[in-house]
């Protein structure tokens, strides 16, 4: 049996890449900033070669136990959706639409007509600040808070006591149907909140993604392999190509559910994991200590996962973009991302700089005897 675990540490970029300046992100380095956190320690990833990656600062090891490299995004963007799509073998040359001045009247009017609800805000906004600034008005006037960010997202916030979660999800589905074609944003996101002012966001967030393009999940599933999704993977790919999935309420829950899959002997194929806390909770809020703590906690959980790896199993650890907690603003940052590849049959090797995240999908497909989509396989280089 062959099992591949592909874990995406959401937003854990590792430094400025050649086109970072075009995105306003020259000088960003998420991993470097996170490493400044007090108590930061990632011994398992360090042993695999994290700090031996070209351009990565840190305590290198003389003999890494894994293959390692940095990857540059070939897609035109720096968001979760196209970052994961590229990891899964699809390069997106056309950027997803963004709305720095809010959504145009034709979008808002169509949404209000279809839902029968008025809206507030319609501006790029911090998710915690928008409920503080508009939450009381939304409740008093029975309206929905609609906002965006630098990413390709349409976000809807509502208090759970006044708009039940399932109703909020229904409004998101309506928005998803409207936001196609020219206005096909990457994600429509439900952002429920609760409590008294200034309110608290709940864990009932839910993403409604644009239909994913053809990717490695489709090919693995068609070839008879299991494709397991953990966390936001179902949302990012709109369920496409997955044989099973579980949603999560944070990184610890995500690792619990990954370990539950690892302990289950009934599957063979790919377990694709997204751990979102680094991005959603710490990156966007520019919380260096929290980001470093989250990476430290993840590395500790690797100890158990590594005990489950069989002779034919491979672990990939990577990221989908940057979100430097030490950088200006609160948005994603265009960066290289690290890649660690570990398994009993993997040769320790510096793979240098890869030109696309899609090399991950090409290598995984190659491992299962399937042709690549976008990207170039490095399987022959790392297979012992």
Q: What is the DSSP string of 134-178?
A: HHHHHHHHTEEEEEE-SSSEEEEEEETTTS-HHHHHHHHHHHHHH
Please check whether residues 34 and 115 belong to one and the same domain. Answer: no
pLDDT in tens, the chain (384 residues): 899 999 999 999 999 999 999 999 999 999 999 999 999 999 999 999 999 999 999 999 999 999 999 999 999 999 999 999 999 999 999 889 999 999 999 999 999 999 999 999 999 999 999 999 999 999 999 999 999 998 899 999 999 999 999 999 999 999 999 999 999 999 999 999 999 999 999 989 998 989 999 999 999 999 999 999 999 999 999 999 999 999 999 999 999 999 999 999 999 999 999 999 999 999 999 999 999 999 999 999 999 999 999 999 999 999 999 999 999 998 999 999 999 999 999 999 999 999 999 999 999 999 999 999 999 999 999 998
- Does the pTM of the predicted model rise above 0.85? yes
Same domain, yes or no: 89 and 112: no
- Specify the pLDDT at position 151: 85
DSSP state of 384: -
Expressed as residue numbers, the domain containing 233 is 3-94+211-382
Q: Give the span between the Cα atoms of 310 and 160, in whole angstroms.
A: 44
Domain final residue pick, 191, 209, 227: 209
- Would 100 be classed as within a structural domain? no
Report pLDDT for 1. 87
CATH number at 171 reads 3.30.70.1250
Number of domains within the chain: 2
**Tokens read off for 333:** 């940052």
Whether residues 184 and 81 share a domain: the answer is no
The pLDDT of residue 384 = 83
Phi and psi torsions of 302, nearest 5° = -60, -30
Tell me which of 209, 230, 263 is where a domain ends: 209
According to DSSP, residue 379 is labeled: H
- Is residue 340 within a helix (H) or strand (E), and if so which, with residue range? strand 337-342
User: Is 49 a member of any domain?
Assistant: yes
300's tokens: 């500790």
- Is there a contact between 169 and 203 (Cβ–Cβ < 8 Å)? no
């Amino acid at each position: 049996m062959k099992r591949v675990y592909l874990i995406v540490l959401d937003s854990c970029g590792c430094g400025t890449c050649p086109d970072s300046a075009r995105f306003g992100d020259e000088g960003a380095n998420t991993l470097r900033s996170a490493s400044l956190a007090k108590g930061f320690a990632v011994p398992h990833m360090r042993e695999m070669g994290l700090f031996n990656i070209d351009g990565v600062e840190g305590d290198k090891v003389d003999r890494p136990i894994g293959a390692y490299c940095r990857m540059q995004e070939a897609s035109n963007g720096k968001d979760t959706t196209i970052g994961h799509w590229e990891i899964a073998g699809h390069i997106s040359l056309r950027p997803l639409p963004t709305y720095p001045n809010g959504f145009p009247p034709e979008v808002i009017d169509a949404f209000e007509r279809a839902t029968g609800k008025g809206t507030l805000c319609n501006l790029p906004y911090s998710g915690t600040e928008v409920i503080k600034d508009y939450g009381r008005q939304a409740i008093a006037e029975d309206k929905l808070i609609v906002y965006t960010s630098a990413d390709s997202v349409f976000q809807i916030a509502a208090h759970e006591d006044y708009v039940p979660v399932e109703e909020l999800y229904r409004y998101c589905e309506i928005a998803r149907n409207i936001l196609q074609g020219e206005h096909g944003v990457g994600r429509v996101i439900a952002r429920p909140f609760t409590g008294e002012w200034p309110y608290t966001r709940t864990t009932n967030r839910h993403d409604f993604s644009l239909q994913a393009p053809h990717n490695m999940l489709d090919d693995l599933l068609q070839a008879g392999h299991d494709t397991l999704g953990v966390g936001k993977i179902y949302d990012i790919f709109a369920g496409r190509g997955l044989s099973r999935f579980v949603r999560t309420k944070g990184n610890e829950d995500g690792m619990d559910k990954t370990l539950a899959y690892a302990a289950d002997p009934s599957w063979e194929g790919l377990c694709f994991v997204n751990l979102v806390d680094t991005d959603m909770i710490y990156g966007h809020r520019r919380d260096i200590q929290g980001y470093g703590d989250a990476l430290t906690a993840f590395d500790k959980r690797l100890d158990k996962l590594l005990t489950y790896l069989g002779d034919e199993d491979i672990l990939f650890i990577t990221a989908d973009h940057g979100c430097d907690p030490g950088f200006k603003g609160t948005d994603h940052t265009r960066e290289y991302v690290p890649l660690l590849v570990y398994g009993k049959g993997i040769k320790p090797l510096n793979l240098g700089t890869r030109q696309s995240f899609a090399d991950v999908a090409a290598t995984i497909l190659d491992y299962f005897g399937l042709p690549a989509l976008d990207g170039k396989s490095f399987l022959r280089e790392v297979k012992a």
